[in-house]
Structure formats: C-alpha cells, structure tokens
A and B are shown apart, each in its own frame.
Chain A
Amino acid sequence: GQQVQQSPASLVLQEGENAELQCNFSSTATQLQWFYQSPGGSLVSLLSNPSGTKHTGRLTSTTVTKERRSSLHISSSQTTDSGTYLCAIASSGSWQLIFGSGTQLTVMP
C-alpha cells in the first residue's frame, strides 16, 4: 500500500531562517496536501499540490510527481510557525488519505 515518509523528523530554527520539509511517497499520488498540526492537535490545510509549484504567503510547495516527492518551503520563519507539518497522499480511486509521521518544527526567538 501507499507509504509516506517525511524528513527531517524534527527541525530547530532561529526566527527568520528558512525551512525545507520533504515528503516522499511510494506510489503515484493524485492528491497531495500539506497540513499544519497545532500543539493542541487541530489540523489546518496549508496547500493542496499534487503536481507543480504552489505558493501561499510564506509557503511554497513543489511536487515532482514522477519522482514521488514533494517539498514545503517556509521562508522567514516565525515562532508561531512552530508545530508539526504533515504530508498526506491519496491515490487514484482511493478514498483513503495516507499521512506521514510529520516534521516537528521549532522556531526559536
């Protein structure tokens, strides 16, 4: 079945630095989303990007479908960016969104 690997598992930055998060998946994905999970647990959808490059605010996601990988770039990190970033994939014809184990980001002041 589909597997999703995220790296790094954790990342510590100083405020203002950029972050690069990676997501690799084992099978072709027709749906790919990046989520932010707050320390309290709630999930916020950041970007839906099954292919190509998408930007929103300080976030840029690039997905290379053939290579089964996606990245999330966070520019000029802020302390409020701290939390867990999750990548989730769905394959064609599947109703199941498979999640990676996440990257825990800590941004220090």
Chain B
Amino acid sequence: AQTIHQWPVAEIKAVGSPLSLGCTIKGKSSPNLYWYWQATGGTLQQLFYSITVGQVESVVQLNLSASRPKDDQFILSTEKLLLSHSGFYLCAWSLMGTEVFFGKGTRLTVV
C-alpha cells in the first residue's frame, strides 16, 4: 500500500532563518507530486507540482522553492523565512488525472 510521510510535523522558526520541509511517497512509481499551503483560516493553495524527477513547476510565488531529487521525494525550502510563510504545508501525490492524496502536513510558525 502507498504511504506518504511528511517531516517535520511542526516547526517554529525565526524570521530570516532557512527552512526545509520534506515529503516521501512509498508504494507508487513515478507519482505526480504537489506542495500546498494554507494560511491560518485561509484556503488551500497549490504552490508547486512535479511530474518527474528533477522537474518542478511553480504555481504561486511565495519566495519558496521546491525540488524533486528522487522519484519518491519532494522538498520545499527557502533560505530566508518571512512572517507570511507561517501556515500549514501539505504534500500530496496522484497518478495521471486521478484522485489526489495528502500527507498529514507540517505546521510552520515563523516568529
């Protein structure tokens, strides 16, 4: 069975510090991968998607970057956090044109 694991579960970081969030999908070959973000009380927004290793497309500009170093791994990062980066980050996967499944998320608080 396929599993999706996100890490860390929660982070408290200082403004200006770097960030790296990770996501691993097991049990599926060559999935489409996504990063989503939700501000507190806000609507989920897609940030990035990747359909293959090494290729990532940006959907919303939030001074974040994403990489897919392996088929089953998706990384979200920034070198300098802003207060506006606070929120809930979700990784997701799907196969072509099918149902999307989400990880449990990472709650980020920037102080």
Contact = CB atoms under 8 A, between A and B. Distances in A.
Interface string A19-53: 00000000000110101000001111100100000
Interface stretch (A57-65, A67-75, A94-102): A94-102
Interface residues of A, number: 20
Contacts of A97: 34, 46, 100
A105 interface: no
A96 B99 contact: no
A96 B49 contact: yes
B44 A48 contact: no
Is chain A's interface secondary structure helix, strand, loop, or mixed overall?
A: strand
B76 to A, nearest CB: 16
A45 B101 contact: yes
A28 to B, nearest CB: 14
A99 B44 CA distance: 6
Given A95-B32, A95-B57, A41 B100 contact: no
B102 A30 contact: no
Contacts of B98: 31, 48
Contacts of A48: 98-99
A86 B49 contact: no
Which among A43, A45, A48, A101 has the greatest number of chain B C-beta atoms within 10 A? A43
Interface in B79-111: 88, 90, 97-105, 107
B59 A33 contact: no
B49 A45 contact: no
A100 B59 contact: no
Contacts of A33: 99-100
A43 B90 contact: yes
Which among B34, B46, B59, B98 has the greatest number of chain A C-beta atoms within 10 A? B46
Which among B34, B44, B88, B104 has the greatest number of chain A C-beta atoms within 10 A? B44
6 contacts: A31-B97, A41-B88, A43-B102, A88-B100, A95-B49, A96-B59
The 9 A-B residue pairs with the shortest CB-CB distance in the complex, in nearest-first order: A43-B102, A99-B44, A48-B99, A42-B104, A95-B49, A41-B88, A101-B43, A96-B46, A41-B105
